[in-house]
Structure 1
Amino acid sequence: MKKLLLLSTGGTIASVVSESGLVPKESGEQLIKMLGNLPYDIEVKDILQLDSSNIQPEEWKYIAEQIYKYRLQYDGIVLSHGTDTMAYTASMLSFMLQNIEIPVVLTGSQVPINVVLSDAPDNLRLAFAAAASCHPGIYLAFDHKIMLGCRTVKVRTTNFNAFESVNVPPVAQVTSDGLVFKQHVKKHKGACVLNTKINPHVSLVKLFPGFDPDLLFAMANSGCRGIVIEAYGMGGMNYIRRNMVAAVGKLIKMGIPVIASSQCLYERSDLTKYEVGRLALLEGAISARDMTSESAIAKLMWALGQKMNVHEVADFFNTDLVGEVSLDEE
């Protein structure tokens, strides 16, 4: 019988109705009681009780420390978490806990577990099954899918099919045959090292027609040390009148890395294809390729936390650490 740990942090899954709206109140033990008998030896530790909108870099570090602390005492760990920032947490944990020796599975729900037709029981059962059977790594389990944590995005606000695995298939899905694995997670060599050094002074900007590039310098002057720009299509940026391309070049010269991702959820950015992308590339923009914005911002925070300079960040984004990016598309 696999020995598993549930670390509960709050979120909708643990929420109850209050005068001010849904508030996380249920303990991890109360979540487990709702599931009935499971074929695992499960222990529970309540480490936070927060709506995930309030989970920030300080909580990421604390969660990573708790996982690292307990990882060798269990065959797998389930982290119950609110859905709104779960993809960010999953991405950041992937970088903070590289080479983790066990599966760590995040899950939550769209409806509190104490509601009759909640999706919480199925999601929790799936998460425990994943924690008992997946290869080591950071995962997100939701609506009959197990996904690599650094590839997940929340795409729906109310539907039970809230998360998707972007640009790679889910690791596994539940069918009438049980848990069917669709891809094997890349194995990494070396021992797990806890590294929670990050620099959260970054920004995520969605480019739109009329965006004033001077706003980027205002961010830099306010302490922003790196920027992810969700550019058009394959990574194109305007250079007529409001010259985003020139602004990128100036920021790079100031030592501020600029990552160019795509506003399109699926497929990759490719700065080499169009003039508007090539000019940005020549100025030093770094392509995010097919990374999610959540993963790109987490990777940038982590890179800056390691004191990487612009050139080192560029090399770092040309590296696949935890399955966050496809490098064989080009």
Structure 2
Amino acid sequence: MKKILFINTGGTISSSYQEHGLTPTQNAESILTEIPELLEICEIDACDLMSMDSTNTQPEDWAVIARMVNRDLPHYDGIVIAHGTDTMAYTASALSFMLGTLNKPVVLTGSQVSILAENSDSKKNVIDSFLTACGEVPGVFVVFNGKIINGPRSSKIRTRSYNAFESINYPYIGLVEDGNVQYDRSLKAAHPEGHVYDDRYCAEVFLLRLIPGTNPGIFDAIQSLGYKGIVIEGFGLGGVPFKERSLIDKIEQLMREGMSIAVTTQCPYEGGDLTIYEVGQKVLEKGVIPGYDMTTEALVTKMMWALGQTSSPEEVKQIMATNYVNEVSLPAVQPVNQPSSQHS
């Protein structure tokens, strides 16, 4: 029988109603007590690393979790982490980069309803997660509503429904149905050289979602607060305005001064492409980092991780352009003025 480590970090799954609303109160052992079926699946050691609503999660917490997983994973066949759903995709993405190339599964899960409530989704999610952690496919995964999702491709897209998470721009790693785990065997893991454990990060990354009329002065404000990187969610395929309130000059200025800037799309599906439209090409010509089809969560945490390794904008760009854990689909080299039938 395989041996799995269960780490509790809080979230809705461990919450109960308190004076100011749902608050994490249950420890790891009490969560497991509610699911006796787990004893038939594997041996379990349990611990409480932290107890928080994941809204309060900070980048420092990702490093704490990563250090524990890195220390303990050699002694177990897999690890299951109970985590709040609101920032689970950020944690899963950050761990994917920090932990390096894995040879065992590390699974994050949670629930939309407390484990103490009737008809909660928590028990199924936890059982499915332990089944996945006992499996032979390595990596960092989010397991939710019967779906096994590559960590940096996960995103919470629904606030209440049990099918809260989806895999963005990448197939599901597998499905769990009636206690059976079925993997997509056609998927091949990325194994870039040198992807070893490294939990260094730089939290000074700002996410800017553009709206019509965005004041270019916002970039001065971001810089004044000490940020080292910016992820810009542009329009459509990643367009950035260059007329009227043009943002191009400010972006170029900050990059000359050493800021790392990535541009992606506000649309969750199908990814961005800065080569198609003039509004993309103009900002691409300035040297920004294309986001391609990465989730915003993966793009933000990857830039934090990259800036933790180096302060060189060129080295950051190289890290961002490397596919470490199938977090990005890098396109084949194409001419800039490729004909397209895309519509704005």
- Counterpart residue identity of residue 11, structure 1: G
Shift in CA distance, 187/311, structure 1 to aligned 2, threshold 3 Å:
closer
CA distance, structure 2, for counterparts of residue 200 and residue 317 of structure 1: 16
Q: Which stretch shows the higher mean deviation, 179-188 or 158-167? A: 179-188
1:210-225 pair list within 5 angstroms? 210-225=213-228
> Residues of 2 paired with 1:58 and 1:159: CA distance?
29
Q: Which residue of 2 aligns with 1:289?
A: 292
Q: 1:118 to 1:70 in 2, by over 3 A?
A: same
Cα distance between partner residues in 2 of 1:40 and 1:302: 34
1:303-318 map, 5 Å: 303-318=306-321
Alpha-carbon distance in 1 for matches of 2:2, 2:271: 39
| Percent identity of paired positions between Structure 1 and Structure 2 | 41
Residue 209, structure 1, aligned to residue 209, structure 2:
no
Partner of 2:197: 194
Cα 1:31–1:202 change in 2 (3 A) is: same
Gap regions ≥5 residues in structure 1: none
Match of 1:69 among 68, 71, 86: 71
Per the TM alignment, residue 176 of structure 1 is displaced from its structure 2 partner at its CA by 5.8
Q: CA deviation at 1:100?
A: 2.3
TM-score (norm 2): 0.93
In the other structure, the counterpart of 1:79 is 81
The 2-side partners of 1:125 and 1:175 are apart by: 11
Partner of 1:171: 173
Matched AA of 2:268: L
What are the equivalent positions in structure 2 for 1:1-330 lying under 5 Å apart? 1-38=1-38, 39-175=41-177, 178-182=180-184, 183-186=186-189, 188=191, 193-328=196-331
Q: Tell me by how many angstroms 1:136 deviates.
A: 1.5
TM-score (norm 1): 0.96
Distance in 2 (alpha carbons) for counterparts of 1:286 and 1:187: 21
Contact conserved, 2:2 with 2:134, CA < 8 A, in 1?
Answer: yes
1:198 and 1:98 mapped to 2: Cα distance? Answer: 14
- What is the Cα deviation at residue 307 of structure 1? 1.6
> Partner amino acid for 2:317?
A
Distance, in Å, in 2 between the alignment partners of 1:175 and 1:252 is 49
Change (3 A) 1:264 1:118: same
Q: Distance in 1 between matches of 2:246 and 2:199?
A: 36
Instruction: Give the secondary-structure state (helix, strand or coil) at the position aligned to 1:37.
Output: helix
Gaps of 5+ in 2: 334-344
Q: 1:146 to 1:134 in 2, by over 3 A?
A: farther
How far apart are the structure 1 equivalents of 2:227 and 2:141? 30
Question: Do 1:101 and 1:192's aligned partners in 2 also have CA atoms closer than 8 Å?
Answer: no
The alpha-carbon distance between structure 1 residues 123 and 176, as it changes in their structure 2 partners (threshold 3 A), is closer
